[in-house]
Structure 1
Amino acid sequence: MSELPDRRLLLVHAHPDDETINNGATMARYVAEGAQVTLVTCTLGEEGEVLVPELAHLAADQTDELGKHRIGELAAAMAELGVTDHRFLGGPGKYRDTGMIYNAEGNADVPPDTRPDSFWKADLLAAANDLVPVIREIRPQVLVTYDQWGNYGHPDHIQAHRVATYAAALAAAPAYREDLGEAWEITKIYWPTIAETSMRESLRKLREAGDTTTFEGIDPDGPMPPMITPDRLVDCVISAGEYLDRKMNAMKAHATQITVDGPFFALSNNTGNEIFGDEAYRLVKGTAAPGPSGVETDLFAGL
């Protein structure tokens, strides 16, 4: 086995762009610090909405070539962040983007007609077996993936959570599938989240700037959706600092999914530290090693 860097981080995400929105600054920071950063993306995001009018023909209900296009967007975003090891679960296109609908409660849900090759319908063990050899190859000390709600209920996010969690357990068992590599136990597992105080402050700034559509229906002073975590339950906060510009550029690289006009992005560029500068995490496996502020500022803290 070739020499591995001392610190190794694995991220498991559902679609291209999820990684940048949730963890772009974190990824850029650890690459810059010499850590091994590996991204596994579970689908090509074929069912995504196309926000670029001249590329509307790529949509799933037209030429259905959006997934192939998003491979290029992801590569461009990873180049901005400096990530050289990015892979698709089981290979590009093995698992199809499930798509989503909004249910009566206003939450993301599974569409009524899901294709048999959709990620949501994938056999959990089979999909986990596509991730186990990656874990055993790169031997990460830290895994980042979604919580049990997939942040906001998207079926592919929920499935990514299940696959990553199951694969992490299987990869650690010496008796499980020796043909998939030598057993490796991941020491710390984190779920990305948004701290409540940060969210409320960001929402106030957006509303004051005239943006009433981003996070529509959420009152800065009202109840928060499940993806927002009370500050007391946040274990680690990574500040974007000098990596904020890289995150913004990586977001722009996902052009079919993230629009760069309107008050949201204008505000992000002007006061990005408030909107995107903090990436918060909940520790769900391992022992926290908080700093003087009461939270960790390093995913590898204590290792």
Structure 2
Amino acid sequence: MSELPDRRLLLVHAHPDDETINNGATMARYVDEGAHVTLVTCTLGEEGEVLVPELAELAADRTDQLGKHRVGELAAAMDELGVTDYRFLGGEGKYRDTGMIYNDQGNAAAPPETRPDSFWRADLVAAANDLVPIIRELRPQVLVTYDEYGNYGHPDHVQAHRVATYAAALAAAPSYRQDLGEAWDIAKIYWMAMSEDSFRDSLRRLREAGDTTTFEGMDPEGEYPMITPDRLIDCVIDGEAYVDRKMNAMKAHATQITVDGPFFALSNNNGNQIWASEHYRLVKGTAAPGPDGKENDLFAGI
């Protein structure tokens, strides 16, 4: 194991594209700094929408080939970010994208009917056992995943949070499944976060610029379950030097992200600033903040 770099980062995500949207700049930064960056994606994103008309046949309700196509999109995105170690939980296609609906409160939720092979219905211990050997093999000091709400309620995000959390605990227990490798206790665990201040400021700028149609109906002062008060954010990664690579990686996920659509509008109106900074909540380990009260390095204090 001595050949492993001094710093090792593991990210656990639900679908291809989640990693780039949430952590693209962070991943590119640490790759450039010589850290070992590993991405584990839990599903192929088979139930996603297809935003490219000529690829509409790939959709789950047609030829159901979207997952296979998104494997290629993920590879292209990782190439943009410089990440060479990316894997699928349990192997490519073991866990199926669950899909989602919007409930009566307007939040993402699990559909009323789900397939037996959907990630949402996976046995928690079995899924965790697919991640434990990766943790023990790579011995990451830092793990990044979603909060308990999956950041916005998608069932696969919630399940990824549960699997990552449980696997981290199991991997640290010397008596647990010794056949899966030598125990490893991850020093710092972070939940990715969306900064409330940045989110509201960006919406205000859109409205002040006279744009009332982008993110229509979203009030800058409204209530949004996916945002995190900045007082709860422990680490802010400044990815300004990597934002172009992040944007190119987002474009690689072409079936999911339209570069001239509302998803990119905040970027277009705010000079990419919102996409350059990535925010994290420390939920295990000791924070090592700088003068401004925030960490600027996920490995701070290690």
TM-score over 0.5 (shorter chain): yes
Matched position secondary structure for 1:276:
helix
Matched position secondary structure for 1:30:
helix
Corresponding residue for residue 249 of structure 2:
250
**Letter of the 1:232 counterpart:** R
User: Structure 1: which 5+ residue stretches go unaligned?
Assistant: none
Which whole-Å CA distance do the structure 2 matches of 1:298 and 1:134 have between them?
Answer: 23
Identical residues among aligned pairs (%): 81
- Alpha carbons 1:210, 1:263 under 8 Å: kept: no
Corresponding residue for residue 13 of structure 2:
13
Which whole-Å CA distance do the structure 2 matches of 1:80 and 1:160 have between them?
Answer: 24
- Alpha carbons 2:7, 2:299 under 8 Å: kept: yes
**C-alpha deviation, 1:163, in angstroms:** 0.2
- Alpha carbons 1:43, 1:119 under 8 Å: kept: yes
| 1:8-28 alpha-carbon deviations (Å, 9 max, x no partner) | 000000000000000000000
Aligned pairs for 1:38-77 (under 5 A) are: 38-77=38-77
Structure 2 residue 202 is the aligned partner of structure 1 residue 202? yes
Aligned pairs for 1:137-286 (under 5 A) are: 137-207=137-207, 208=209, 210=211, 212-214=213-215, 216-223=216-223, 225-262=224-261, 264-265=263-264, 268-269=267-268, 271-286=270-285
Matched position secondary structure for 1:87:
strand
| 1:214-246 alpha-carbon deviations (Å, 9 max, x no partner) | 3x43311233x1221111111000011110000
Higher deviation after alignment, 205-214 or 145-154 = 205-214
**C-alpha deviation, 1:262, in angstroms:** 3.4
- Alpha carbons 2:146, 2:158 under 8 Å: kept: yes
- Superposition CA RMSD, Å: 1.3
Distance change in 2, residues 1:42/1:2 (3 Å): same
Matched position secondary structure for 1:275:
helix
Distance change in 2, residues 1:20/1:272 (3 Å): farther
| 1:87-123 alpha-carbon deviations (Å, 9 max, x no partner) | 0000000000000000000000110110000000000
**Letter of the 1:57 counterpart:** E
Structure 2 residue 98 is the aligned partner of structure 1 residue 103? no
**C-alpha deviation, 1:126, in angstroms:** 0.2
**C-alpha deviation, 1:187, in angstroms:** 0.3
Matched position secondary structure for 2:151:
helix
Distance change in 2, residues 1:263/1:184 (3 Å): closer
**Letter of the 1:117 counterpart:** D
Matched position secondary structure for 1:282:
strand
**Letter of the 2:234 counterpart:** D
| 1:136-167 alpha-carbon deviations (Å, 9 max, x no partner) | 00000000000000001000000000000000
Structure 2 residue 144 is the aligned partner of structure 1 residue 114? no
Please report the TM-score for the alignment, with normalisation by the length of structure 1: 0.96
Which whole-Å CA distance do the structure 2 matches of 1:156 and 1:73 have between them?
Answer: 19
**C-alpha deviation, 1:285, in angstroms:** 0.3
- Alpha carbons 1:244, 1:272 under 8 Å: kept: no
Please report the TM-score for the alignment, with normalisation by the length of structure 2: 0.97
Structure 2 residue 258 is the aligned partner of structure 1 residue 289? no
**C-alpha deviation, 1:293, in angstroms:** 1.0
User: Structure 2: which 5+ residue stretches go unaligned?
Assistant: none
Paired residues in the alignment total 301
Which whole-Å CA distance do the structure 1 matches of 2:264 and 2:210 have between them?
Answer: 11
Distance change in 2, residues 1:40/1:139 (3 Å): same
Corresponding residue for residue 135 of structure 1:
135
**Letter of the 2:156 counterpart:** D
Which whole-Å CA distance do the structure 2 matches of 1:76 and 1:270 have between them?
Answer: 26
**C-alpha deviation, 1:273, in angstroms:** 3.8
